[in-house]
Amino acid sequence: MGKSPKKIDQELLDKLAADALRPSDVGLPEEVEYGWSGGRHVFDGEFSFEHNVYSEALHFALRIDTNKVPGELKKAWQLMEEEAVAKENPSGFISKNQKKDVKDSVRRKIEDDMRSGKFRRSKLLPILWDVQEQTVYCSATGASFEKLAEIFQRSFGLDLQPVTSGSLAVQLLEPDARKRDYEDLRPTRFVMGPEGEGQRPEYPWVAKGAEPKDFLGNEFLLWLWYEADAKTAEVKTEKSGEITLFLDKSLDLDCAYGQTGRDTLRGDGPSRMPEARDALRSGKLPRKTGLVLDIGRQQFSLNLSGESLAVGAAKLPDVEEAESPRVLFEERIGILRDFVKGLDGLYTTFLKLRTSSSWDSQKGTIRKWIMQPAKAAAA
């Protein structure tokens, strides 16, 4: 969010260099330090077109260092010094003043070790900034994302907005003047709730989040499941053509009414297991699933989370021929763009159905499918 650059220039690289993490040898380091890295290794502080710019995308990393002595070590050093001092006293006990001296001694030892870098731990979070698409790819979550968002705003004056199923729905529907359709969306009832037919799913995990429409991601995963197991497993998209899909390896479900807990299924074709259909009948909906997608004759495997649309364990097709490491990397960026376009295409197709008058008929069909025995549905 903000005035994003239209192209990558030297000024952009200079901004990265200005906020690169270069730990100082002088003074006591902070418990947590972070800054940009060139991305090739943890000590890489150089930024250039040769090493960081590929196919109109910027590749770098966020380096996060922690400088913290484990509490158990602090406690051990304190007790060992106190015991050594106590042995020198006729009473065998340490005095109050001696305890204070020991505490100061341990503090100095901790500071010396901190300055030496003995307890410094570094990690890199790789980042790909697709400037053309105004999209940043990174696995940062929680505290790591907070650091990424802070330094990104500081360096570039841009605010990072995490993509979720709800926020992406706004982006995809708003250009077609369909924001009102988005605002009118309410959770779909696929099975009877514990309190009767009039009870809508509550989605406890969405209620705790910042985006109230993130339940769309869970309905999206259910729709993909229905398309894969009950229909042709082929979905037409506007920009990526027909996409073939298959649920594979894993399926995590949770009760949308907050009543019947969670189910975790693992194995080949978990969506076809009898337990999966039983889970749906009890009010559970998918929160995360393994997928295999065929997009433009390229096969991708991944784990997809419902409400966040976070992609994990993604495996891109191999690049068969590449003249150099640079060409290989640029080819992989192109494949990544194809993958994201295909995934967005699937979600767009779902949203158009979800906001159309055809959804009433579709949800009725899905309800009947849920109530079928798994064997009949797989036939």
pLDDT digits (tens, 9 = 90+) for 165-209: 999 999 888 877 777 888 889 999 999 887 777 788 999 999 887
Asked whether residue 360 is assigned to any structural domain, the reply reads yes
Residue 375 clears pLDDT 60, i.e. is over it: no
Same domain as 213, residue 347:
yes
Secondary structure (H, E, C), 217-268? HHHHHHHHHHHHHCCCCEEEECCCEEEEEEEEEEEEEEECCCCCCEEEEEEC
Expressed as residue numbers, the domain containing 125 is 10-68+119-156
Residue 118 zone, left/alpha/beta (φ > 0; ψ -120 to 50; rest): alpha
Share of the chain above pLDDT 70, in %: 97
Q: Which two tokens stand for residue 151?
A: 């330094």
Please give the average per-residue pLDDT across 76-85, as a whole number. 89
pLDDT tops 50 at residue 376: no
Asked if residue 142 and residue 290 are part of one domain, the reply reads no
Same domain as 255, residue 125: no
Question: Position of tokens 């992989």?
Answer: 332
224 and 106 in a common domain: no
Decide which of 156, 183, 209 is a domain's last residue. Answer: 156
Residue range 158-169: average pLDDT? 93
Alpha helices in the chain (DSSP H): 10-18, 49-52, 71-87, 96-116, 142-156, 165-173, 179-183, 204-207, 215-229, 274-281, 325-354, 359-371, 374-378
- Provide the pLDDT for residue 377: 43
Are 141 and 210 members of one domain? no
Mean of the pLDDT values across residues 104-125? 87
Tens of pLDDT, residue by residue over 267-295, are 999 999 999 999 999 999 999 999 999 99
Q: Is 80 exceeded by the pLDDT of residue 101? A: yes
Which residue, 132, 156, 180, sits at the end of a domain?
156
Question: Which pLDDT does position 338 carry in this prediction?
Answer: 95
Which of these, 347, 262, 279, lies nearest to 308 by C-alpha position? 347
**Count of Cβ atoms closer than 10 Å to residue 259 Cβ:** 14
Q: How many domains does the chain have?
A: 3
pLDDT of residue 374: 67
Looking at the domain assignment, is residue 4 inside a domain?
Answer: no
Mean pLDDT of 3-30: 87
Q: Specify whether 275 is located in the same domain as 145.
A: no
Residue 205's pLDDT is 93
Q: Are residues 136 and 238 in the same domain?
A: no
Contact (CB, 8 A) for 213 and 169: yes
Q: Are residues 222 and 256 located together in one domain of the fold?
A: yes
258 occurs within a structural domain: yes
| pLDDT band of 379, cuts 50, 70, 90 | very low
Q: Give the CA dihedral 137, 140, 141, 145, nearest 10 degrees.
A: -100
Q: Has residue 240 got a pLDDT over 50?
A: yes
**Same domain, yes or no: 22 and 169:** no
Confidence of residue 25 (pLDDT cuts 50, 70, 90): low
d(CA 191, CA 296): 35
Residue 323 lies in a domain: yes
* Structural domain contains residue 5: no
Looking at the fold, whether 275 and 309 belong to one and the same domain comes out as yes
Kindly report, residue by residue over 345-367, the tens digit of the pLDDT. Answer: 999 999 999 999 999 999 999 99
Q: Is the pLDDT assigned to residue 310 strictly greater than 70?
A: yes
Claim to verify: residue 85 and residue 182 sit in the same structural domain:
no
Tell me whether residue 3 is in a domain: no
**Which residue, among 328, 350, 150, 127, has the nearest Cα to 245 in the 3D structure?**
350
Query: Closest Cα to residue 49, out of 83, 87, 9?
Result: 9
Domain-embedded: residue 194 = yes
How confident is the model at residue 26, as a pLDDT?
62
Percent of the chain with pLDDT over 90: 66
Predicted confidence (pLDDT) at residue 378 exceeds the cutoff of 80 = no
252 and 296 fall within a common domain: yes
- CB-count exposure of residue 228 (10 Å: 0-12, 13-18, 19+): buried
> SS3 of 308, please?
coil
In a domain, 105, yes or no: yes
